[in-house]
Structure 1
Amino acid sequence: MDRRQLFGFFLLLLFISACGNEEANVETVDATNNGEQKVITLGHVTADDHILHLAVEKFKEEVEERSDGSMTVDIYPQQQLGGEADMMDQLRNGTLDMGALTIAELTARSEAFNAWYMPYLLGGLDATEEMRQTEEADEILHSLDDHEGVHPLSYYVIENRHVFSVDEPVTTMEDFRNLQVRIPPGTAIDDFYQRLGATPSPVEQQEVYTSLQTGVLEAADVDVDAVLANRYHEVGDHVAMTGHHDWVIGVLYSQPLWDQLTEEQQTIVEESIEIAAQYSHEISGELQDEYIERAQEEGVEIHEFEDMDEITEIAEEMHEDYATDNELIENFIEKAREIENH
C-alpha cells in the first residue's frame, strides 16, 4: 500500500470513529433528557396547616411516588407567589405550573362558578363531593375561556362555611341586619348576604385580620379551619354554625406547560389530582369536629343558628333567580337536587 492509499485509509478510520462518537453522544443526550427531573411549582393562598395545603401535599406525595422521583412538586402556600389574580397571570404566561385557586377567583373568569356559592343547595360534604364528580360540575370547570391559558383539572372540597363574628354571635335573622361581614370578592355570596340584610364587604384575604381587629369588619364568612389558621380567634369570639355552603377549590395547570408534559406525565398528574381530591374530602369530614374543639379551646364560642327555615327560604329564592340567568348554573342546581333526593 503506497502513502496515498495509507493516508486515505487513515482518514476513513477517523470518519467512522467520529460518526460512532456522534451517535453515542446523541444517545447520551437523549438518555439525559428522558431522565431529566420535572419540577412542578404549585401555589395557593392558605396557611400551611390548612386542609387545602394538606390536600396539595397529598398530591405532591402521589406525583413523586408514581413517577419514581422523576417528577417533584414544590408547594408555595400563603400567597408566597402573590394573590390569586397574580397566580392566574403566572399560569397563563407559563411561569407557574399549577394553582389551587378559590372558586371566588374563578367566578371572576366565568360566572358559572357561582353555582358553588348557592347557599343550602347541597346538604354537606358528602353531597358536595358527589357533586364534584358530576358532568355538570365538570362543565362549569371547563367554562373557563381558552384565552385564560389554563388546563382545568379538578376540584377539592374543603369544608363547611359559617359566620365568624367579633363581639356578638349571629344566631337569628335579625343579627344579620347591617352586619359588616367579609365575603369572597365578586361572588354570589355577596348577593346572599344582601338578601339577609347584611352589608357584605369584599376585603382582601390578607387584610381580614386587621379589619376585624380595628372594627372595619364585624364578621367574616369562613370555615372553622381558617379561624385557627389565620388566628381570627385572637380578635373575635363567636362562630355561628350556619353551614350555608361548602368551600370548593379549583385546581388548574398552565396550558402552555401542560402541553410540554409527556402523556405519561399528564396521566400521573391527573391520577394524583383525583387521589388528592378524595383525600381532601376524607380529611375534611374527619377534621371539622377537631377544629371546632380546638377553636373552643382558644376561647371561641360555637353557636347554632336559630332561624333555619327563614334563611333556607331566602336561599331557595336565590337558586331560582340564578338558574334563570345561567344555563350551566341551572343544570348544576338540577343535578344537586337530584343528589339530595336520592
Structure 2
Amino acid sequence: MNNVFNTGLKYTKLIAMTTTLAVAGMGSALASDDNHKFNLALESGDRDSASGKSMQMWADLIREKSDGRMKVNIFYQGELGGQQELFDQLVKGNIDMMLTWPQTSYDERLGVNYIPYLTLGWDDALKAYGEGGWLKEIFGPLYKDIGLKYFGPYPEGFGGVATKGKYATSYDQAVEQGLKVRSAPVFPLPQTVQAMGFQAVPIDWNEVYTSIQTGVVDGDSSNVIYWDYEYFRDQLDYYVHTKHNFSSYALLMNDDTWEELDAFDQAIIEDAAQQVINKQFVDAKIEDEKWIKKAQEAGMQYIEPSAEDMQVWVKKVREEVWPIAEESLGKEIMDEIRANASVPK
C-alpha cells in the first residue's frame, strides 16, 4: 500500500472507533423516539456516481442507526435546481442536507476551499482537510456564521483542465492557443484559471455540455477527470492534470434543523456523516486513478505537465491570486494558509 492509503486507513479506523463509542456511550436511556424526514440534495452526480452512492450510504446509516425513525429523501443533480439555487434553499431551510461545493455568495471567506495550489500532493491534502486538520478548523465557524452545520469535507482529488481539439501544458501554451475553458462561478476559480493563461468563462454545471458542444468554451476546468470523462467524453479529447485545486465538496446541514434535534439524533447523523467522510478519504485517490485509466482506455489523452511548467504555474498563480483572495478572506486566514500551504519541491 502507498503512504496515502495507509494514512487514510489509520485515520478511518481511529475516527470510526471514536464516533461509534461516542454514540454507544450515550446509552439507551437517552435514545430518542422522534420521527424525522429530511431532504438531501446533490448539486452534481446521479445515483450511480461515487457521490450519489456516498449519499445513499449516509441515508442508509441514518435510517439503520435510528431504527427507521429518521428517513432521508435524496435528490440528485438537476432535480431541484442549480448550484446556487440549491445552496440558497439549504440556507433557508427548505432543503435539510446537501453535498456541495461551498458557495461564497453568503460569505466570501468560504473561498478558502478554492485557494489554488494550496496543497500539492495527497499526503498534504489529507493532513489539511482531515479530522483535526488546519483547514477543517477554519471551515466550521465560517459555515456556522451563515446558518449551516459543517460535518466535514468530501474529497475527490486534484482538478485539471479538459479540452477539445487542442490543449496546453503551460502558461505560454494556454495564452498562445487562446483556450476558453468553463470555470465554476465561484471565487477564486475563474481568477485562478485566468492566471494560468486560459480564458475563464463562468458557467453553471447544468450548462457545461451544451457550452462545449456549441463552442462557447473549448473545455472544462477544475474538476477531477471523472466528471469530464463521465459526462463530456464524447466532446473532450485531452485532460491536462494541472492540479491547481484540490476538489473537495462539503457535507452540510441547515443549522436550525440540526439544532431542533435532540443530542441522541444529532450523534446518529454526525456519526453516519463521519463514516461517509472517512471512507471517501480512503477511496478518493483510488477512485481518481481508476477513472484516469478508464479515460485513457476510452481514447482521452491524459497529460501531466512537466515539473518545470508546474513550478511556473504555482509561482504565478500564488503571486496573482493569493493577494486578491486576502481581500475576501482576510489577513488572519491568509496568514494561516501561508504558514501551512505545501512548499513546492
TM-score norm. by structure 1 comes to 0.81
Deviates more, 1:128-137 or 1:238-247: 128-137
Match of 1:327 in 2: 331
Distance 1:70 1:124 in 2: 42
1:152 paired residue number: 150
Label 1:340 to 1:76 Cα distance change in 2 as closer, same or farther (>3 A): farther
Q: Aligned equivalents of 2:302 and 2:62: distance in 1? A: 39
What does the per-residue CA deviation read over 1:175-232, in whole Å, with 9 as the maximum and x for residues that have no partner? 21132111110311222222222210001111111111111101211211101332x1
CA distance in 2, matches of 1:340, 1:77: 38
Per the alignment, residue 206 of structure 1 pairs with 206
Give per-residue Cα distances to partners, 1:56-95, cap 9 Å, x unaligned: 2232232223223222222111121112222233223332
**Residue 233 of structure 2: SS of its match in structure 1?**
helix
Structure 1 counterpart of 2:122, which letter? L
The structure-2 alpha-carbon separation of the partners of 1:126 and 1:79, relative to structure 1 and needing over 3 Å to count, comes to farther
Are residues 75 and 319 of structure 1, via their aligned partners in 2, closer, same or farther at CA, if it must alter by over 3 Å? same
**Cα 1:198–1:289 shift into 2, 3 Å:** same
Quote how far apart the aligned CAs of 1:138 are: 2.9
* Cα distance change on mapping 1:185 and 1:319 into 2, 3 Å: closer
- One-letter amino acid matched to 2:99: A
Cα separation, partners in 2 of 1:271 and 1:212, compared to 1, 3 Å: same
Question: Does residue 163 of structure 1 match 2:161?
Answer: yes
Q: Does 1:234 align with 2:234?
A: yes
The total of aligned residue pairs comes to: 304
Residue 335 (structure 1) shift: 5.0
**Contact 1:141 1:250 survives alignment (8 Å):** no
Deviation at 1:142, TM superposition (A): 2.3
Q: Counterpart in 1 of 2:106? A: 109
Write the mapping of 1:267-286 to structure 2, written as runs, cut at 5 A: 267-286=267-286
Contact 2:220 2:228 in 1 (8 A): no
TM alignment of 1:173-212, pairs within 5 A: 173-177=171-175, 178-212=178-212
Aligned equivalent of 1:292: 292
Q: Say which SS state the counterpart of residue 143 (structure 1) adopts.
A: helix
Query: Structure 1 residues 136, 293: CA separation in 2 closer, same or farther (over 3 Å shift)?
Result: closer
Measure, in 2, the Cα distance between the counterparts of 1:57 and 1:130. Answer: 27
In structure 2, stretches of 5+ residues that fail to align are: 1-31
In structure 2, the partner of 1:264 is: 264
**Equivalent residue number for residue 248 of structure 2:** 248
Q: Do 1:51 and 1:280's aligned partners in 2 also have CA atoms closer than 8 Å? A: no
Identity of aligned residues (%): 23
| CA shift digits 1:90-114 (9 cap, x unpaired) | 22333211011112x2x22222222
Cα distance 1:263–1:63, how it changes in 2: closer, same or farther (>3 A)?
Answer: same
Give the match for residue 98 of structure 1.
97
CA positional deviation for 1:238: 0.6
1:253-281: CA deviation from partner (whole Å, max 9, x where unpaired)? 12232222111111111111111111111
User: Equivalent residue of 1:206, what SS?
Assistant: helix
Residues 125, 246 of structure 1: 8 Å contact kept? no
- What secondary structure does 1:96 align onto? coil
1:324 CA displacement:
4.6
The match for 1:225 is: 226
Q: In structure 2, the residue corresponding to 1:155 is in which secondary structure? A: strand
The answer to whether the Cα contact below 8 Å between 1:116 and 1:248 also exists between their aligned partners in 2 is: yes
How many angstroms apart in 2 are the aligned matches of 1:126 and 1:41? 34
What is the aligned partner in structure 1 of residue 115 from structure 2?
Answer: 118
> Are the structure 2 counterparts of residues 328 and 84 from structure 1 closer, same or farther at C-alpha, using a change threshold of 3 Å?
farther
Native 8 Å contact 1:152 1:251 kept in 2: yes
Determine the C-alpha separation between the residues in 2 that align with 1:38 and 1:151.
17
Which residue does 1:16 correspond to in 2? none
Residues 45-64 of structure 1, C-alpha deviations (whole Å, 9 max, x = no match): 22223332233223223222
> Counterpart of 1:278 in 2: which secondary structure?
helix
Alignment-mate amino acid for residue 310 of structure 2: M
- CA drift at 1:131: 1.2
Q: Which moved more, 1:292-301 or 1:46-55?
A: 46-55
* Counterpart secondary structure, 2:216: coil
Structure 2 SS opposite 1:259: helix
- Give the distance between the partners of 2:156 and 2:76, measured in 1 at CA: 16
8 Å CA contact 1:136, 1:331 repeated in 2: no
Shift of 1:151: 2.5
The RMSD of aligned alpha carbons is 2.4
Q: TM-score, with normalisation over the residues of structure 2?
A: 0.80
What is aligned with 1:45?
A: 43
**1:230-252 deviation digits (Å, cap 9, x = unpaired):** 2x111111101111121111222
